[in-house]
Structure 1
Amino acid sequence: MLISGATGGVGSIALQLAVAAGATVIATARPGEEEEYVRGLGAAHTVDYTGDVAASVRAIAPEGVDKALHSAGDAATIGQVLRPGGAVASTLGATSDQVGRDDVTVAGIMAAATGDKLAALLGHVAAGNLRVNIEARIPMDRTQDAFALFADGTLGKILVTR
């Protein structure tokens, strides 16, 4: 499985859940701190998203990947590395046209936080099975700072507080 955007909040949680489900994860991350972060979460492989992602993924998985999470980067690049019959879930709303493939499943996904889902995730955190990295805590009256920090890229989540 390829996780594009593995260093972000959604990607880092998805990475851990995928590994717990038995997937071998290829995570996008720059060399150094980002690579160490995603490897610490269980990524078996990393590819530098500032380089040729498709070629790097194909070097690891010559036949392509079965699944991908698209939460950063170019949807067409994801399309280049999927096996026929594969699937991509996109938090960015990518379409089959953007992925450039008609032999794979493309699904747009949106967060739908329910009490049950949050309780299940918190249960994983409490049990030590899921790590949520809070990179910054920003007061509500400084939300513009949170958006700026998010735009610069973070390792994990930004917590907006009262």
Structure 2
Amino acid sequence: MSRAVMYETFGGPEVLELREVPQPHAGSGEVRVRVNAIGLNPMDWIFTSMPEMAEQFGISLPSGFGTDFAGVVDEVGAGVSGFAVGDRVYGSAVGRAAADFVVVDPSTDTLLHTLAEIGDEVAGTLSVAGLTASAALAAVDVQAGDTVLIGGAAGGVGVIAVQLARLAGARVIATASEGTFDFLRRLGADPVTYGPGLEGRVRAMAPGGVSAATDLFGTETAEAALALGVPPTRISTIAAGPNPPGGVRPTGGVDALPEELKRIADAIVAGEITVPIAATFPITRIREAVRLQAGRHVHGKIVVNL
């Protein structure tokens, strides 16, 4: 037997249960990973609380939980090449990562080798946040010399987006609460308070104008960017649905190239990107970890260890 986080009804963190389940095994074309760490994402708790969103991703009850993971390959099925027992790996498996073992198909799931210099706690946070941040910036073609407005910059996707934009040579104006300002300045951003009046505050900080924007939390930043005269083709959103305001570009991790994760991992090793770990929890405290994540006031990533 092994352990897995499961839920049988939709709801808040209280529906999550750590259960004893039969061990899964790798079939043909699959590998089994002994999971050491999972990184939480907003999508994880959104699936547990919003049936319509879960359905869009093929999740039905009863369901497992979690997406991003890092661990060690301990079974390899027939026909698999590129992975061997003992390999350290990280990746994503929607709705089943929070478990002692996860079975993945490298041809359809995200699965990469973990660099020796990166620990499992960091590797387990990279897949969704890294691909989403990359897609959000690629959609608006961030270049050196740009002034980029990033909404929701202190979250798990935001901290990577800020650093990727800075690596590209852009100036970053980052919306956040005042309590995160010093944190964002350390990442190279110029922070600004979100909320009513955002357009005016950004205009004062960037009298030469904003050339691109990405909204990682709703539509407030996208709407401010439109009011500042940023063309819709240079504004992206990840959480505003398929038809965001003003014709701006919706995007997400599915639009990113898998090679982007390797680029981010290399940048971490080179010291060009850091992944702030805001809190860690054992799997036995999964509800507490998800409750903190769902509060949306975390500076960085939350990691659950197995």
RMSD: 2.5
Counterpart contact for 2:226–2:232, Cα < 8 Å: no
Change in Cα spacing, 1:161 to 1:115, as seen in structure 2 (3 Å) is farther
Match of 1:130 among 246, 254, 273: 273
CA contact (8 A) 1:3 1:28 kept: yes
Aligned 1:1-162 pairs, distance under 5 A: 1-31=148-178, 33-43=179-189, 45-62=190-207, 64-73=209-218, 74=220, 75-84=222-231, 86-94=233-241, 98-99=244-245, 101-102=246-247, 105-110=248-253, 116-152=259-295, 153-162=297-306
TM-score relative to the length of structure 2? 0.46
SS at structure 2 position matched to 1:142? helix
Deviation of 1:39 (Å): 0.7
Cα displacement (A) at 1:38: 0.7
Q: Which deviations, in whole Å up to 9, do the C-alpha atoms of 1:56-93 show, x marking residues without a partner?
A: 11222346422111112424334323423651221214
Deviation at 1:51, TM superposition (A): 4.5
Of the two structures, which has the highest relative contact order with CA contacts closer than 8 Å and spacing of 6 or more? 1
Give, in angstroms, the shift of residue 145 of structure 1. Answer: 1.8
**Alpha-carbon distance in structure 2 between the residues aligned to 1:141 and 1:119:** 31
Contact 2:232/2:249 (<8 A) preserved: no
Aligned residue type for 1:69 = T
Q: How many residues align?
A: 156
Report the CA distance between 1:151 and its aligned residue: 2.5
5+ residue gaps in structure 1? none
Q: What SS class does the counterpart of residue 202 from structure 2 fall into?
A: helix
- The structure with the largest helix share of the pair is 1
Q: Is the 8 A contact 1:135 1:157 kept in 2?
A: yes
